[in-house]
Amino acid sequence: MQIGLGQRTQTLIERITASRAARLDEITAARMAELDAANMPADLDTLLARLTAARAANLDNLDALISSRSSHGPADIWTQATRTLTNPATASDLNNMQVGISGTAGGRAAKLDNLDVLVSSRSSHSPADVRQSVCSPTDPVDSIGRLMYDRVRGYLDAAVSSRSSHGPADIWTQATRTLTNPASAQDLANMQVAISPTAGGRAAALDEITAARMAELDAVNMPADIDTLLARLTATRAAYLDNLIGTQTAGTYSHPSGTTESDAVVVTPAELGKYEKLVLDLSNLTQTTTVRTYVQVDGTNYRLIDAAEYPTDFPTNAKGVVIELTPSNRAQKVTLQSAVAEGVAVDVPYFYVVRSLA
């Protein structure tokens, strides 16, 4: 059953309310220009490039003010009157968090770039329409004025002042309105389908274009905030976030069968670093072994810092040794020396973690 013209017109009027139509006024040229590729999209791409998922995850490490952390250097530590090597039962785990930033863009949103002026301000006529309204293909074009006179004189049968001067506002505020039958009712049917094929969905979407939301596209709002973020999160500062990534070093030291003191782990940093605890697995040792820690305090010569015997100086049944490394750019090492020869070489697995402080 075909819906009548009057009913379709009423449906259009109900869907395109005055408040919804007013939403279109919020789509200004300046606001829409912020959606151009060179403006907000480019700025967001820059922010996404700088604030990578890895760097975003590193922000979780900034859980305290830097000023609340120790400002002591190696010299302060070594000049401390009493120093005790901490010995936790197990090494700390290093957990990594990954943060994903993703986004999607719709095809319809991109079409808003075309709304740079009011559609109603543009002509719907083509050059062919103008040509056909003035003269027929057989008319000579030697006198355009004569042709226009011949074409329109039959229609100037009343004074212009006798015609209506009402505008759109006068029509919509009229208490009762009846649409006269146009030549083609199908035009209105097509308009109704274009606005929304299902229950006024597209028409209702105009309610989402609020003045407050569109105002966020003004230069002093979101664009200004993005500019502030870009100024604060410079490329250099963003790169600093990479320094929060820890690097783990692991290996296996082959302890010789004799009683000579031997280097088990040697750390020679290329830059200032925050070293986490060194963990040694001594479960394969069968003889009492002295564990010593050295640091190149002057940058050249190793100085003995601490020493202990395994297993005598460690918790009962302990099979590993946890050694606190010093945050510095100085070389440091740990040595092992058996009191009695093992007889065969013994494997000693180890690992430690370092984070750059440069």
Q: Hey, how many other C-beta atoms are within 10 angstroms of the C-beta on 193?
A: 10
Structure tokens at 326: 């010093």
The model carries a pTM of 0.40
**Rounded Cα distance, 13 and 9, in Å:** 6
Predicted local distance difference test score (pLDDT) of residue 129:
60
Q: What is the pLDDT of residues 291-348, one digit of tens each?
A: 999 999 999 999 999 999 999 999 999 999 998 887 778 889 999 999 999 999 999 9
Structure tokens at 280: 């040694």
- Average pLDDT (54-66) is 74
**Rounded Cα distance, 347 and 94, in Å:** 25
CB 190 within 8 A of CB 196: no
Q: What is the pLDDT of residues 12-45, one digit of tens each?
A: 777 777 787 777 788 888 888 888 888 888 888 8
Query: What are 306's strand-pairing partners?
Result: 293
DSSP state of 340: S
Predicted local distance difference test score (pLDDT) of residue 127:
60
On the CB side of 314, how many CA atoms lie within 13 Å of its CA? Answer: 24
Predicted local distance difference test score (pLDDT) of residue 91:
38
Q: Hey, how many other C-beta atoms are within 10 angstroms of the C-beta on 169?
A: 9
Stated as kind and residue range, the H or E segment containing 14 is helix 5-15
Domain residue ranges of the chain, discontinuous segments joined by + = 1-51+101-120+166-244, 246-356
CB 22 within 8 A of CB 202: no
Greater confidence (58 vs 275) lies with: 58
The mean pLDDT of the chain is: 75
Closest-CA residue to 189 (of 17, 15, 7): 7
Stated as kind and residue range, the H or E segment containing 97 is none
Predicted local distance difference test score (pLDDT) of residue 93:
34
Predicted local distance difference test score (pLDDT) of residue 305:
93
Question: pLDDT grade, residue 252 (50/70/90)?
Answer: very high
In total, the chain counts a number of residues equal to 358
Integer CA distances (angstroms), 354 to 54, 70, 208, 274, in order: 17, 17, 51, 5
CB 276 within 8 A of CB 346: no
Q: Hey, how many other C-beta atoms are within 10 angstroms of the C-beta on 72?
A: 11
Predicted local distance difference test score (pLDDT) of residue 102:
35
DSSP state of 148: H
CATH number for 246-356: choose from 2.60.40.10, 3.20.20.70, 2.102.10.10, 2.60.120.1050: 2.60.120.1050
**Rounded Cα distance, 161 and 122, in Å:** 26
Predicted local distance difference test score (pLDDT) of residue 181:
57
